[in-house]
Structure 1
Amino acid sequence: MSYSSIFRVRILVLAVVCLVLWKSFSYFSEINNQASLGKEETTSVELQILTVKVTVYYEALCPDSRNFFIRQLLPSFERAPRLLDVVLVPYGKAKTQLLPREGTDEGILHFTCQHGPVECHANKVHACAIKYVINQDLLLKYVTCMISDNMIPDEAGEKCAVDLEIDWEPIRTCSSSVEGDLLLRKYGEETHGLRPHVSFIPTVSLDDSQDNQAAILKDLFKEICKKIEVYHPSECA
């Protein structure tokens, strides 16, 4: 065999080897990409399902509401914040009336609360805090701080705001104005629209279900874990 023939054979062999290596690399890259995509999709689904919507219908001066925040809600959130999506509805068994305003065609919103006028104002402070404190962790700490001693709502709101480095001014302004009235009316509409109707405060729904109220009020975290036990999150072990 001539030198030129040997050279051509070597070139051909090298080309075949390169082709095989390229095909192998493409094959394993595709497998790896599919595995990564599958992992991302699984993680996304798990994150979506692992979050339980916890809606709390409560009153600012209600002793049972205070106990629930201090002993159940805040500890559960701090234990596993990724498992809870908390929605607060400060209204309870209050009533809303639209009274006539003398000399105008506009009305005045008037609220009657189970624990008196102080509670109505405290509910407004909580409603305004929900609007202006965006971070859920900070909001729960703030509301729990206030509800721990809410007999003088503005004093509690300002003190807790200072302790947690929250801007008190927009909350104060909101709670003493029509803005606070409108927010509280909205929470009243949500509460009155609940089915079945509120009979005990606090009422807590998990993923919009009011089932097992006694168990939820006794051990919220346990009931949350039951909602997602199929995925066995590490926090529930």
Structure 2
Amino acid sequence: MYALFIVSSIFLSFINGGLTIDCPNIPSKWCETKEIAQACGVTEQCTTYVWKTRVENELVNLSIYYETLCPDCRQFITTQVWNTYQSILDIVNITFVPYGNAKELYRPETKLYQYYCQHGAEECYGNLIHACVINFYPKTEEHMPFIYCMESTDGDIETVATQCAQKSTIDYDQITACTHSRLGNQLQHAYAVQTESLQPAYQYVPWITLNGEHTEDMQKQAEKDLIGLICKSYKGSDPPAQCMKNL
């Protein structure tokens, strides 16, 4: 990594509040602080190859297992998750898993899976739409506004999805094609496997995991104050201002 850093002299220095900071002879120390990186002329490289990776490794990983028409899921997503997204997205990875209490049955004659959902065929279709949107728009900033819109809007699934796509950056023609394709079926199956493989096994939805773990205490905290739970779990430097309010 550090072989990428090229500097003209190890004696580069600058004045910072009257103090001279020299570039260390040891490359492994060049990214220890922003001041040292500047003295060594490698600020851009430290940002790209060291600091950014370090920050990403410090993020809290939140996974939400849900189904689209579940009242409790909708409430959780449109309040706790949405507030978290708006306030502290820079310290959390949010992963949505749209499946919930659905059941799948493999049909050998079509080589496709058929789905049965707790709240009927409309929910299966909603789950499939979410799966396709997450696939084509994998960044949280891309799919979260759409998911929030759908979960906070009552009405026919197709109509609601179309309206929510128009309010966001989602190409709904692409999503419709996905929902009628083998790809959409495979995406839904992948979420089925992920949900059924949970340890401990899920008992209800919404079901959350934090850094791959789940406890009843964690679940209760998430439903009451998800921001506080994420902030408490964050071990990185420079917590956001919202976290400081929760201390």
Please give the range of the TM-score, normalised by the shorter of the 2 chains: 0.7 to 0.9
| Structure 1: unaligned runs, 5 residues or longer | 1-21
CA distance in structure 2 between the aligned counterparts of 1:84 and 1:201, rounded to whole angstroms: 21
| Residue 150 (structure 2) aligned to one of 142, 146, 152 | 146
Structure 1 contact 53–207 (Cα < 8 Å) conserved:
yes
Structure 1 contact 61–150 (Cα < 8 Å) conserved:
no
Give runs of aligned pairs for residues 62-73 of structure 1, distance below 5 A: 62-73=70-81
Does residue 233 of the first structure (1) align with residue 227 of the second (2)?
no
Give the AA of the match of 2:194: E
C-alpha spacing 1:37/1:117, structure 2 compared with 1 (3 Å): same
CA distance in structure 1 between the aligned counterparts of 2:154 and 2:185, rounded to whole angstroms: 19
Q: What residue number does 2:140 align with?
A: 136
Q: What residue number does 1:29 align with?
A: 22
Q: Which runs of 4+ in 1 moved over 6 A?
A: 22-27, 32-35
Q: What residue number does 1:3 align with?
A: none
Q: TM-score, normalised to structure 2's length?
A: 0.77
Q: What residue number does 1:17 align with?
A: none
1:38 partner SS: coil
Paired residues in the alignment total 212
Superposed CA RMSD? 2.7
Per-residue deviation, 1:217: 1.6
Give runs of aligned pairs for residues 110-125 of structure 1, distance below 5 A: 110-125=114-129
CA deviations on 1:61-106 (whole Å, 9 max, x unpaired) are 01111111110112101101111111110000111101242xxxx4
Give the AA of the match of 2:169: E
Q: TM-score, normalised to structure 1's length?
A: 0.80
Structure 2 contact 10–23 (Cα < 8 Å) conserved:
no
C-alpha spacing 1:36/1:58, structure 2 compared with 1 (3 Å): same
Structure 1 contact 94–114 (Cα < 8 Å) conserved:
yes
C-alpha spacing 1:23/1:180, structure 2 compared with 1 (3 Å): closer
| Structure 2: unaligned runs, 5 residues or longer | 1-8, 14-19, 35-45
| Residue 93 (structure 2) aligned to one of 64, 85, 101 | 85
Per-residue deviation, 1:107: 3.1
C-alpha spacing 1:116/1:233, structure 2 compared with 1 (3 Å): same
Q: What residue number does 1:19 align with?
A: none
Per-residue deviation, 1:155: 1.3
C-alpha spacing 1:28/1:165, structure 2 compared with 1 (3 Å): closer
Q: Which has the higher helix share?
A: 1
Structure 1 contact 49–228 (Cα < 8 Å) conserved:
no
CA distance in structure 1 between the aligned counterparts of 2:212 and 2:10, rounded to whole angstroms: 53
Percent identity over the alignment is 27
